[in-house]
Amino acid sequence: MENTMLNLLKNKWVKSSLLVATTFCILEGFDFLLSIKAFAQTPKADIEKVELGSVDEDEELHGDFLGVFFDGFFRYDDYIKQELLWINYVRDRKQADVHILMTIERTTARGREYTLTFTGLEDFSAINDTLKYYAKGTDTREMTRRGILRTVEMGLIPYIAETPIAQFISIDYKGKRQPVFQEEDKWDNWVLLFDVHGSLDGEEARKSVSFEGSISAERVTPNWKISQSVRTNYSKRDFKTSDEDISAISRWHSNRGLIVKSLSKHLSAGISHSLSSSIYSNTKISFSLAPAVEYNIFPYEESTRREFRFLYRIGARKRKYIEETVFDKLEETLFYESLSATLELKELWGSVISTLEGSHYFHDLNKNRLQLYSNLSLRLFEGFSLTFNGNVSMIRDQLSLPKEEATEEDVLLRIKQLATQYDYRFSIGFRYRFGSELSNIVNPRMSSGRRWY
């Protein structure tokens, strides 16, 4: 028996197992000692509270917690579950007492406007509200998610007031009682941004390097919107094959500007310009200037929930080409017009974003383009959602195509634009989630690490 035990102890797998078991026992013992120490240091009043009321009462009140369905919160879901402990998180709106829809719009200074629409369901159908939270472009993720959490808490108060949970809710005011003065803005609503970044990656048979930089200035007020930006991009890709080494260089520069005047709750007018250069598009320089007018069926202040906009542009474009085009041109001046219709809806049943745009050149009406882009997300029934997005274009206006035939490298590496009469892209998917109605628990153990808050 003794020899058998010695042989087992010499086995490397048995040694490893014993080491793991011993480590586990030490950790468990350490955790147990910490628990005893914490229990011993807990004030008597706190211990009695846990034993006599907290656990049993929480279990009894759990059925009175609001069932809340969070829609559009994405990366903030786990954080809210960890911080907001007095509601039940349900997996589908059909099981909810309150449906909270969050939509996001970009503001000046690269900030974000978060619109939270609270919709009461079943017994709470008479209570509806909309709150907004504004995050600055310089705010950290922690600052943003705390602001969203606070907005959620404020919006839920009217619903909580109708439940037995209300007796456990307290409201504190942490500010000082003083008049509010509007500070003078020394920048007069102007926001400037300087952005530079680059990347480098590779392996034995390939490598790539890229650089992109931009400078932008923007001024946004209720009556005016003015923006100006300059961007540049350079990228180089090198490949090694058994026959030869291949290099692909892509480079483009652009300057874009826009001025828009608000004429009414539904109407606006403006002018835009663009100055660009691109190897891919065979343009040494391209300049365009286009006045525009836009009409929105819905008031602009409702843009976070719904929009139905018609945009008309008419303009002129001056181009100089890098290579002679298939139409024997090295430069030309073109006049064009375009009309687009955009529908955006964000409702409890899902969301729709769709744009149909048509354009043509005046010198030849056959030189035209028709584009359709759509993104659809529908909740068809409890736990089941369908998503679809895609775009399709009918193309007959490729005036900048070079006369010289594209090489094999140009085609495979997409260095130059190729002749085509159409392009398309579609994707479709569905998600079906079922099981427990509640989703209150967060457990981040052994996660992949890509948890963006």
Q: What are the per-10-residue average pLDDT scores of the chain (453 residues)? A: 47 49 46 39 33 42 77 80 83 86 80 89 89 84 86 90 83 64 72 91 92 92 92 92 84 94 95 94 95 94 86 96 94 96 86 94 96 90 86 95 84 83 94 70 61 44
CA distance linking residue 237 with residue 225, whole number of Å:
39
Site of tokens 């260095």: 415
Are residues 319 and 251 located together in one domain of the fold? Answer: yes
| DSSP states along 257-314 | EEEEEE-SSSEEEEEEEEEEEETTTTEEEEEEEEEEEEEESS-GGGTTTEEEEEEEEE
Q: Report pLDDT for 442.
A: 56
Q: Report pLDDT for 1.
A: 46
CA distance linking residue 341 with residue 343, whole number of Å:
7
How many structural domains is the chain composed of?
2
Q: Report pLDDT for 257.
A: 95
Sequence-distant (6+) residues with CB within 8 A of 194 are: 214, 215
SS3 content of the chain, % helix, strand, coil (to 5): 25, 45, 30
The SS3 call for residue 155 is: helix
Q: What residues does 373 pair with on adjacent strands?
A: 355, 391
Q: Where are the alpha helices (DSSP H) in 42-140?
A: 44-49, 55-61, 77-83
Are residues 199 and 253 located together in one domain of the fold? Answer: yes
> Which CATH number do you get for residue 122?
3.30.160
- Pairing mode, if any, of strands 224-240 and 245-262? antiparallel
Q: Report pLDDT for 249.
A: 87
Tokens of 238: 């090198």
Are residues 338 and 201 located together in one domain of the fold? Answer: yes
CA distance linking residue 117 with residue 306, whole number of Å:
13
- Report yes or no on 17 lying in a domain: no
Domain that holds residue 214: 190-350+357-367+397-419
- Report yes or no on 19 lying in a domain: no
- Report yes or no on 54 lying in a domain: no
Are residues 148 and 285 located together in one domain of the fold? Answer: no
Q: Of 266, 316, 254, 256, whose CA–CA distance to 291 is shortest?
A: 316
Q: Report pLDDT for 439.
A: 61
pTM of the model: 0.65
User: Half-sphere exposure of residue 214, counting CA atoms within 13 Å on the CB side?
Assistant: 14
CA distance linking residue 88 with residue 96, whole number of Å:
9
Are residues 251 and 316 located together in one domain of the fold? Answer: yes
CA distance linking residue 114 with residue 321, whole number of Å:
44
